[in-house]
Structure 1
Amino acid sequence: CITISPENKVFCGLWAGVGFGVLYPDRKAFSYYTFRPEDRLRDWYNDLEFDKKGNLYLGFWGGPGLTLFDYHKGTFGKCLKTRFHPAFSSRLMTTLQLDDKGHLWLGTTDTGPHLYFPEEDTAIDFLNQLSKKEALDLQKVYEIKKDNTGSIWIGARGLYLARTENPQPLQKIKLDERYAGLEIYDLLPEQKMLVWLLTDRGLLRYNHLSGGISDYSSIVKLRFDEKHTGAVRLKDGRFMFAGSNGLAIVNTKKINLNLPRPNVYLSSLLVFDKVKIANIRKEETIRLKHNENFFTIQIGSDVWDTDNTFRFSYKLEGFNKEWIALPSSEREAHFTNVPPGHYIFRVKVEDNLGNKYTNVAECSLSVIPPFWNRWWFISFLVFSVFLLTFYFWWARVKGLRLSLFNSELNQKLLRLQMNPHFIFNSLSAIQNYIYTQQTHLAGNYLSDFAHLIRLILDNSRNELIPFEKELETIKLYLNLQKLRFENKFDYSIRVDPELNNGEYEIPPMLAQPFLENAIEHGLKNLNRKGFISIRYQWLNGMIHFELEDNGIGLVASSSHKEKTKSGHKSLAISICKERLETLRKKRGGNIAFRLEEIKTSDGKVGGTR
């Protein structure tokens, strides 16, 4: 190891326990200094370094470790090994380097790099800041050098960089995968962030700005190892390198490492490992369905079979945020779960000199969204939801209106059934039985009257009632009407056997308005005994109700009302029409009724149906 003092004296560290010496060129003399002459095992030097104050630091390989030396007096100063951790192992020093702030960087064989602060007389080590795997690569430091910007470069198993203003943590330079595990025995920084690397794979030149490495090993055929390495920049700008097999002077201006631009093309596209497009043209836009978003693009080049001079990267713009390095053994770019959209696939190439060739191959690619993700379907869906919401709101309002209307109809029907004339005349007839001492009949009819009123009130609360209850109400009503009209008519009720099983329900009080019409307008003014025929049938899944009377008919009834100017206004038919229409809207189906006169064979009116 060699270093120059502030007075331009040459200090040289010697190996094999001899010590170190000072060369006096003017006197052609050489002075030797030995730390412990009686013990040559302690006097091995790997590096010497002067600080800005003129202090000389001795980098022992073993012995006392880092030690100060007063070269003016020729005496050894204090030993600094206790400032480092671990103190014993850190004595095995390999290199020293003073940074721009006057701090001393030192490398060791077993404990990695350390940084000593002379003003505070303290030191820090870096291995304890790393994982075990990372620390293993930095355990043995070969060389530490400072560049013209003040940055510190460290050569170990890999390349490391530290900034003087913020030395922690160390930055491990990410080199190309071809240089994994690279042993860097020596290094020589130059301007523009270029660093020469003397490695186990020959002479390399690293460009920190581009991240590329230029390989000079095929031109400068030096072999380097831990003990045989050296590098210096000459005054004329050339570089001198030393290895185990000799010296070499390199003039970079006369060495041309430029490589021809590689030919790159996109060969085919696979979807789920099946070929979809066999030959991709640059101007072609590839269109994929939404379920074809797991695909592979195969890349071709005329440099695949050469050495690892070129590095390939790819990017699917719009999907990948960063360029993805293509491993040297790979020829395909894989993509999974790519969302619908328009993308541009690009390939770029970089050689080991740091030259970059962008967009050497590209193509446009679109993943078409499914129909349920397209604007027209979303618009249709929103519109459909709006229509459905409106429909349900309208149906709800309509249902409420129908319920209200039905309730009003039931009230009208109840008032119709609770006709004051009917109630008054029925009670008068029962009273007559009481006056004539026919108390038994009066009691029976009074009980029937009360039961009828109770049924009418109960049934009016329900939308549907069992068929048997409706039949019971009709019988009670007709019996009381017979009493009221003094048995002026008879009646018969025929029921289909299917309707007697108790499983059918019908709207309450549906037949009563028609019975009232038959009695009041058909039989009341009849000069003979009247008859009402009632029939319930089960036809085609529906209940068919039929009522016939042998009264005066529809036309005669209307004429009689006009002649007598009767104040009685029948609402039965209109209420029933409204009620049946409401029931049809609410429950669907074919619900209707027909009103007609019965004609005899000779054309006369025989009643109403």
Structure 2
Amino acid sequence: MLWSFSYSQQFTNITVKEGLPSNHVYKTIQDANGFIWFATDKGLVKYNGNTLKTFTTRNGLSTNDIWGMHPTPDGKLWYLSKTSKLGYIENDSVYAFESELKNEIFTPNYTSQIGNKIILTSNSRSHHLINNKWTLLHVNNSLKNKPSLYIKHPTITAFETGTALDTIKVIYKNGQIKKVANLKSILTSIHYRGQITDNLFYWTTDKEYSILNLNTLKLYKRNFKDEIGIEKSQHTRVNFINNQIQIAGRGFVGILDANFHITKTFLIPKKLDAHFAMIDKTETIWIATFLNGIYQLNKVKKNIKYAFEHEKVYKTNNLNGAIIANVYNQGFFKYDTDKKTFSPYVKETEYLFSSIYLDSLKTEFFISENKIKRLRENQKKEVFDFSNSPYYSNQIGRKLVYLNGYIYGHYSGGINKINQQDLSIIKSYMQRGINDLIVFNQQILIATTNGLKKFKNEIISEVSFNQQKFSKSILSITKVSKTDLLLNTDGFGSFITNLNEIYQLPKSEFLIVNNAFVENKNIWLATNSGILKYVLSNNTYILEKEIVLANGLPSLQVNDIYIYKNDIIVSTNNGIAILPKKQETPYQLLDIYIDKLSYNNQVVTQDNHAFKYSENNNVSIAVSSIDFSENNTNFSYNYKLEPLQNNWQTTETTLINFNNLQPNKYVFKIESQNFKKKIEFTISPLWYQTLWFKSIVLLTLITLFFRTVWYLSKRSQQQKSKKLFQEKQLSEIQLKALRSQMNPHFVFNSLAAIQYFINENNFEASEKYLVKFSKLIRRFFELSKENTISLTEEIKLLTNYLEIEKLRFREQLEYKINIDDLLETNKTKIPTMLLQPIVENAVNHGIFNKFETGTVTINFKKIDTLTYKVLIIDDGVGFVNTKSKSKKVKSSNVLQQRLTYLNTLEEWKITYFTKELHPKNDEKGNISTFIIKSK
């Protein structure tokens, strides 16, 4: 007996438990926006993959018993029922319209849809909607008292059924009549009919369907036996859905090709008792039933087979070329690779441990809680029963391996060495917590709850990696290559090891890995979170894909996995699934949209997106998606509110709130993948917030401000001019005072030098010094009356001064004066006695304290036509180390004051700064810099 495959695992069932108003569903359809609609006897339901939204008489329907629907390309969903008002739903608003005939009850059994046009058609009447009234369509009958069927067509106006019920009279608008014959089997049977496009009309019965081309009057007749292999199907209807002609009835759904043959047929299992189905844009099948609501089957699951529903399957492994599944309380089943079915192989109702093939012994073992069943080549099956043993259970081995002429098996207390003939225990080796055994490189490796052990030379010892202990609980061991193994742990993922080094498979951390399968260089993990596939790239394993419930797994608790050719055989706690290895990840996001806009907890209508400002206002925007993926709970998208936000924000929440928005025009935008939507709204200002009011207030304030400024400016202008004149005079007086303060300082230093030579009884030097000094002082007094002198005069003064100082220093002072060739010294001006105090500081505070000969260098460099630079450099001990630091500071203060006043006169812009010549070396020295600009 073959084990029958289950189909119920494939389907997602939507019932009243999930939010349907009723399990009695007439029809399901997909509208132009991608929403799925269910017509029930308790209302219409709109479904986006997450939320079921029901429309009833409370929302404006004239009845809750809706049995027909037509979606039009303009986004409307037209609803049909036996009632006095019919219409459509658009943007979640219900519109219902009456007939122009008072109190008329519609029975639109044969309603047609042509583009956006709906023709309500009963047995004898046709209506279309004009000016919010269902208006009766009148046609000219060729037969008196014989009803005609209205046709919307450029040249045809109506059909009439012939009296013999075997032909259709086609009535043209010009009065011409043509006949279409060979319709007896249809017209004499209970049938559905209707126009599906602008040039196609259909009839269906339980056994056949016919399509008439209205342009050519060519009739296409097809029967279900030839098309899909079934004799008959009740409630067969033809619909134009998603730009395809679909045909559906009890037990099937399909698509009509260009010649109106049924393709892409899906036969619905009889156990579902379905009467209608529809194929959506992503090839997901939606099945309507009268008792069990809706069944959903996505594209991926249509190619998956299931077995052993609700049964626990431990392992699926290879026994001498045969694939054997270990099924709890059922036994061991053999897989037919051609038919993809399982049949009983070894029956066993006890708890199963394993099925093993030992190649060296050419023997199969089927191991359970109390028995070991052995099947050797060309011999009868042997059964070793341990139910009467002292332990009342199998303590021989839960898994068997073969090494060096002996069988070894593990039990609850350790490892047994077993006689291969009678399976008697030769010797036992104590080791608790064993989960798996494997023979590798002439030794037995043991997976335990406390790491990896090895059994060699009849000794069990611990395996360490890089001299470190690995104590994680190992559930199973899988051979990867001749050198590498895979250790699958209980809650810590999987690890690759060559018994020396060990590293973890990436992204497997904290997973319970029950088993693994190695296919060429690929690794497949059976985990508590589905299946993980790893591929080898540049000597490193990387995670390529995950297989979960949305891919068709019957359970995330995967116990084992086996790859056979292009199929994945998955053993789970809820049976077996056979999946195609090359499977696309199902993702059915069809659209994102803004579901609702609220202002201060009041829903804003679609036609009115403007509202008045209020303090502490709240704008709430609900965002949703149309996504029929099974795992669609992690919907994320980007959003921003312009002009308040310039950058996109990412979120998974479906409700966005903005508080206290100021009056403005706003645009709320969302995007996810290639879908983009936006909604605009305006917060109107109050009267005192309007632009005209603010403009008047601002203009008034500006006028007052400028009048006040003008008055105050005029009043203080004279005082300001007078004050500036006084300040200028004061600056000139202070500048002269500073110069007079600096001249005595220079004279004092020079006289001190002469006194020094006299005290040294060096009369010749003192006389020579005195002569030079007298010439210098005379020149100084001549120029001291001037505010500025030429740079040529300043250089002569500095040269004379340095010559005097050189005499005082007894030739231990050298100086250099370098002048830029581009600098015209006779035309270039400088404030009188500006440089001399700094040169004096360089000599007296730098060179004076130096034991060897020192040098003072003065560089004049042109910067531009108005600006030049003066560098005064000495290689002395530096200002910071001089003993006369207080004097230097006093002189510097005088200089800084003088520079301040010079700059205040607005005739000069002089910048001065000093720094050490060699700040990072032991060698000292100082450099002073003047940047002088005349205005």
TM-score with structure 2 setting the length: 0.22
More strand by share: 2
Of structures 1 and 2, the larger Rg is shown by: 1
TM-score (norm 1): 0.34
